[in-house]
């Protein structure tokens, strides 16, 4: 249990400091960063799968076109999520990006109701309504829909839905997604180098090392998360997930000086919604265990 909490905390802390990593690559175009993230993530997955001798799933895929189609969709969603996040951080929109991961649990609830026939309890509906009020405030205050947060939450929520229903483990799933994306990513990176617009080729040693690190930066928190999910209750994992967006918000406000005061009421409503959602989940879990005992 303690080890699981440590793994989960480490994963969410790493995701929370992602803005620092991507800000360090601000001189490189977001689409090129995405290309390197895909290619080097595939390299990390390949090394891990070879080391663990877990390659049988590749042969099994030949008779499962439905699984392959599922992962074509999930790879598209994860690529969109990664790109929007990278763009947002490097465009000075870290606070907006953090919103997506604050509201993601509530979006997951709605996705479960829409696609998995899961029934929402009253407190969950209340939490969704309060969060919707917060999003409405942010829309009114900014004069525009907070599309960055909504796109991140929806893409990650739908990605989670597809991965929930696909029978591959974390490493195998990421490997297949990056295999599907790698030809386009590699072709784009080669074109950039040929056209003389490559941030990798033209960058200094630090930039090149940071781009090469995109693989471990992507894979390590995912592996820590997968290890944690096997060791601790889902409710505990759900509470710890707020570490990531909380850190991102703090970095956006205190380190990068992004404006927040005008948006604070909307975020407060969303935090109230998350508190309602989390407390209701804990109470429901206690009741379930008590009735089972």
Q: Which residue has the higher pLDDT, 2 or 92?
A: 92
Summarize pLDDT for 209-260 with one digit per residue, the tens. Answer: 999 999 999 989 988 887 887 777 766 777 788 899 999 999 999 999 999 9
Q: What is the 3-state secondary structure (H, E, C) of 103-130?
A: HHHHHHHHHHHHHCCCCCCHHHHHHHHH
Summarize pLDDT for 94-148 with one digit per residue, the tens. Answer: 999 999 999 988 888 888 888 878 788 888 899 889 999 999 999 998 889 999 9
- Taking a C-beta distance cutoff of 8 angstroms, is the pair 96, 151 a contact? no
Summarize pLDDT for 253-293 with one digit per residue, the tens. Answer: 999 999 999 999 999 999 999 888 888 877 877 777 777 66
Summarize pLDDT for 157-175 with one digit per residue, the tens. Answer: 898 888 877 778 888 888 9
Give the pTM.
0.91
**What is the pLDDT of the chain when averaged over all its residues?**
89
Domain ranges of the chain: 2-292
For the chain, the DSSP string reads -HHHHHHHHHHHHHHHTHHHHHHTTTTS-HHHHHHHHHHHHHHHHHHHHHHHT--HHHHHGGG-HHHHHHHHHHHHHHHHHHHHHHHHHHTT-HHHHHHHHHHHHHHHHHHHHHHS-PPPPHHHHHHHHHHHHHHHHHHHHHTS--HHHHHHHHHHHHHHHHHHTS---HHHHHHHHHHHHHHHHHHHHHHHHHHT--HHHHS-HHHHHHHHTHHHHHHHHHHHHHHHHTTS-HHHHHHHTTHHHHHHHHIIIIIS----GGGHHHHHHHHHHHHHHHHHHHHHHHHHHHHH-
């Amino acid at each position: 249990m303690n080890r699981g909490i440590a793994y989960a905390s480490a994963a969410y802390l790493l995701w929370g400091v992602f803005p620092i990593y991507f800000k360090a690559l601000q001189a490189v175009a977001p689409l090129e960063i995405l290309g390197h993230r895909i290619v080097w993530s595939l390299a990390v997955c390949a090394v891990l799968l070879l080391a663990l001798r877990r390659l049988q799933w590749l042969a099994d895929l030949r008779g499962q076109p439905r699984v392959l189609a599922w992962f074509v969709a999930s790879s598209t969603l994860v690529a969109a999520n990664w790109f929007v996040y990278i763009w947002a951080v490097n465009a000075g929109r870290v606070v907006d990006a953090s919103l997506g991961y604050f509201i993601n649990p509530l979006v997951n609830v709605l996705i479960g109701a829409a696609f998995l026939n899961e029934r929402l309890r009253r407190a969950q509906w209340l939490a969704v309504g309060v969060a919707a009020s917060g999003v409405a405030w942010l829309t009114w205050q900014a004069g525009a829909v907070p599309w960055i947060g909504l796109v991140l939450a929806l893409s990650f929520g739908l990605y989670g839905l597809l991965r929930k229903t696909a029978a591959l483990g974390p490493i195998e799933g990421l490997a297949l997604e990056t295999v599907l994306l790698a030809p386009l990513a590699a072709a784009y990176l080669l074109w950039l180098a040929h056209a003389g617009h490559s941030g990798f080729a033209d960058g200094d040693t630090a930039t090149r090392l940071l781009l090469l690190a995109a693989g471990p930066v992507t894979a390590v928190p995912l592996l820590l998360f997968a290890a944690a999910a096997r060791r601790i209750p889902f409710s505990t994992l759900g509470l710890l997930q707020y570490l990531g967006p909380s850190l991102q918000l703090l970095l956006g406000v205190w380190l990068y000086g992004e404006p927040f005061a005008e948006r604070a009421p909307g975020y407060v409503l969303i935090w109230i919604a998350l508190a309602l959602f989390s407390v209701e989940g804990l109470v429901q879990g206690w009741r379930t265990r008590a009735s089972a005992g």
